[in-house]
Structure 1
Amino acid sequence: MEDDLAIIERVIDEHKTIRQRFHNLEQVANDAEAMVGFEEAKEAFMPGRLDQKQGLRELDDTLKAIEDGLQRHFHFEETSLPTVVDRYSDEELKSSLRSIFLEHIDLRSRLAHSKKHVSELVSGGMARHRWEASAHDMRAYISHTRKLLEAHAEIEQELLHELHSRLKK
């Protein structure tokens, strides 16, 4: 039972770290767009400029770090939680866990899409108006992904706290 409790507590702690990384990702995305705005004030927009690419590379690095962390976290949840849930929960919690795992698929897909989007922006092959629209869309997409992840984590937290309570009894 102590091992099961440790699993639940680890997942709860990891959720805090993941939320912070997503907030950092949004900040980097905002900085990348702001960089374009400052550059436009100085001179005409030039796709592929080094400083714009640097902001996007930073965004790409952050996305990769988040993706790596989420992959490890999701893998841990997907391999550790089913046994604990099977032991200590009812059908409703088991069903909730299956739904959570389906959301993992969606979140992985959203991260892959974001990474592809950043690669397209880094390539610099778009017209100015298309690049700006695409950068804005990417920011909105990342922001929405963060909101989905937070909602996902809150649902997981409820499930984990319920399991935690059952294990403590």
Structure 2
Amino acid sequence: MAKKTEQTEMPNAHLHELFVDELKDILGAERQLLQGLKKLTKAATGEKLKTAFQTHYEQTEGHIDRLKEVFSSLGIPARGKKCKAMEGLLSEAEEIIEEFQDSPEVIDAALIVAAQKVEHYEIASYGSVVTFAKLMGHDEAKEILGQTLAEEKETDELLTEIALSEANISA
């Protein structure tokens, strides 16, 4: 009964369960991405791209810490779940690596395609939870998640810049 009372006091309480489920999914996705970024970094040939992947690895560690902060601010244990979407995106990235690893002129362009698919998934995910947090009045969560959303967009823009200035040109 107390749970029902709590939910009725919160604006758009019906979103709370979805919000928490999405946070768990994102936490799982970020943890999975750490392994994927190691593989992308190893496969990249251009220094700018390698550096971008290494930087995003470090940012991803920070994203995980921020997600833990959000869970804490909500009074919920920070537990992720296996993200099937990220699993599929990383599986596709591995296929790209296998298919193009012997084509140094194309590998970086192919890796950027795989990485941007991941970034767009993350942008969609973080955009959704930022909106949910705003609707429910979780201002701290909205700010924390918004920082990560901004970084994901910056990474996407950096990958586009590398693609246009180097990787796609050499392909």
TM-score if structure 1 supplies the norm length? 0.50
1:120 Cα shift?
2.6
1:27 Cα shift?
0.8
Rg (Cα) greater in structure:
1
Distance 1:7 1:52 in 2: 34
1:10-21 alignment, distance < 5 Å? 10-21=25-36
Distance 2:38 2:140 in 1: 32
Distance 1:12 1:96 in 2: 14
Q: Which residue of 1 aligns with 2:154?
A: 106
Distance 1:3 1:52 in 2: 40
Change (3 A) 1:18 1:52: closer
1:84-123 alignment, distance < 5 Å? 84=133, 86-87=135-136, 89=138, 91-116=139-164, 117-122=166-171
Q: Number of residues paired by the alignment?
A: 103
* Alignment check: 8 A CA contact 1:29 1:59 kept: yes
Higher RCO (C-alpha under 8 Å, 6+ residues apart): 1
1:1-150 alignment, distance < 5 Å? 1-30=16-45, 54-84=103-133, 86-87=135-136, 89=138, 91-116=139-164, 117-122=166-171
1:22 Cα shift?
1.9
User: Share of identical aligned residues, percent?
Assistant: 12
1:26 Cα shift?
1.1
Unaligned runs of 5+ in 2: 1-15, 48-99
RMSD of aligned residue pairs (Cα, Å): 2.8
Distance 1:102 1:94 in 2: 12
Change (3 A) 1:4 1:16: same
Unaligned runs of 5+ in 1: 34-50, 123-169
Change (3 A) 1:52 1:72: closer
1:60 Cα shift?
1.8
Change (3 A) 1:58 1:83: same
* Alignment check: 8 A CA contact 2:119 2:153 kept: no
